[in-house]
Amino acid sequence: MKIFQNLKIVELSSVLAGPLVGTFFAELGAEVIKVENQLTDGDVTRKWKIPEENRQHAVSAYYAAANFGKKTLLRDLKNEADYLEVLGWVATADVVLLNFKPGDALKLKLDYETLYKKNPTLIYGEIIGFSEQDPRVAYDVVLQAETGYMSMNGESDAPPLKLPLAIIDILAAHQLKEGILCALLERAKDGKGRKVSVSLYQAGVTALANQASNWLMNGHIPQRIGSLHPNIAPYGETFQCWDGKWIVLAIGSDKQFESLCHVLELSGLIADSRFETNASRVQHRTALTRYLKEAFLKKPSNKWIQSFLKNQVPFGQIKDIKDVFEEDQASQLILEEDIEGVPTKRVKTVAFKITGLSEP
């Protein structure tokens, strides 16, 4: 899809959230000019390498994950000639992306008011950390701590944990994309530019969903319960099979629970008052889990999988990343590109398809 083939974007952002937005538009055909800080040898993530990576390359896998289809240039925004060059690109752009620390955009004369005078139709997309008034450096792990994610994540007898992705950055990128798309839609009506601002903090809070409502409506503070669901059981419980492989359950109804019990040859549990309803299963999930663990160990995973599929029992095979990308559906989402002579791969940011019926 080349939906945005006539769109021009100047990306002045770095790390993950902003660059993911630029990549999204690049995947859909937009021209994206990425300006990186010459004084730091480019985006800081170029140096964020795992031990297996080639130390001589100027491109890391982390950098590649958030950058695709862009024209990348190193510039010093404090240098007058470089600044004027960037300003020239912005003057003809549709969108500019920034994620400077509070006050830096104004110091660099790249604030909304300055750029609006150069280009009144510009969509100014900005990611900030906590707020305009809070100067703290907003790394993802800091935001996961401050927005409640770490307090909920982990096992009950272990310390708080961050999620193994920069989830707050990813959520903020989605928010900014949505805001920019709304601003482009409005501009199509009146021809006027807009400023779209997203804070990492608020992006994290707005994604708390049912966990937020559990507190707001019932005064319930979510505790660390591993992968378990606070409202449903058995949901999130993991079970090791006879062959050492793991399966996770997602039983959302009484009918599904009955099917599970029949497959596991535990039909006696259906009439057990402790497990008759979801509410009672949540209350007695520890006892229920003991029965299920014993049953799963009696057969290899492939046997359980066949039976679960046949009887419509919701489950998942716990796969590592290697397993995931051996699946056709996942491998179809890989984007490949040479960046500065380095072969790179990443997964698409675009997972949707747009189709329509032709007129007869």
∠ Cα 83 5 193 (to 5°)? 55
Known catalytic residue at 169:
yes
Average pLDDT over residues 251-261: 97
Per-residue pLDDT, 56: 82
Q: Is the peptide bond before 234 cis (omega within 30 degrees of 0)?
A: yes
- Cα(212)–Cα(128) distance, integer angstroms: 22
Residue 311 has pLDDT above 80, yes or no: yes
77 closest CA partner among 106, 116, 113, 120:
106
Taking the CA atoms of residue 323, residue 327, residue 332 and residue 334 in that order, the dihedral angle to the nearest 10 degrees is 10
pLDDT tier, 153 (very low <50, low <70, confident <90, very high otherwise): very high
Closest by CA to 33, choosing from 91, 80, 81, is 91
Q: Give pLDDT tens digits for 295-307.
A: 999 999 999 999 9
> pLDDT at position 111, please?
96
Write down the catalytic residue from 104, 157, 169, 328: 169
Span 225-245, pLDDT tens digits:
999 998 899 999 999 999 999
Model confidence at 54, pLDDT cuts 50, 70, 90, reads confident
**pLDDT band of 163, cuts 50, 70, 90:** very high
Tell me the C-alpha distance between 126 and 96, whole Å. Answer: 8
Which pLDDT band holds residue 360 (cuts at 50, 70, 90)?
low
Confidence (pLDDT) at 359: 62
140 — pLDDT class (breaks 50, 70, 90): very high
Predicted TM-score (pTM) of this structure: 0.90
Calculate Rg over the CA atoms of the chain. 25
Fold of the domain built from segment(s) 235-318: formyl-coa transferase, domain 3 (3.30.1540)
pLDDT at 170 over 80: yes
Domain limits, CATH 3.40.50.10540, in the chain: 8-207
Quote the mean pLDDT of the chain.
95
Label residue 358 by pLDDT band (50, 70, 90): low
The secondary element (H helix, E strand) that includes residue 202 is helix 200-206
pLDDT digits (tens, 9 = 90+) for 20-39: 999 999 999 999 999 999 99
C-alpha closest to that of 31 among 66, 5, 52: 5
Residues of 153-178 as b/e, b for ≥16 C-beta within 10 angstroms? bbeeeeeebbeeebbbbbbbbbbbbe
CATH domain 8-207 topology: Rossmann fold (3.40.50)
Residue intervals of the chain classified under CATH 3.30.1540.10 are 235-318
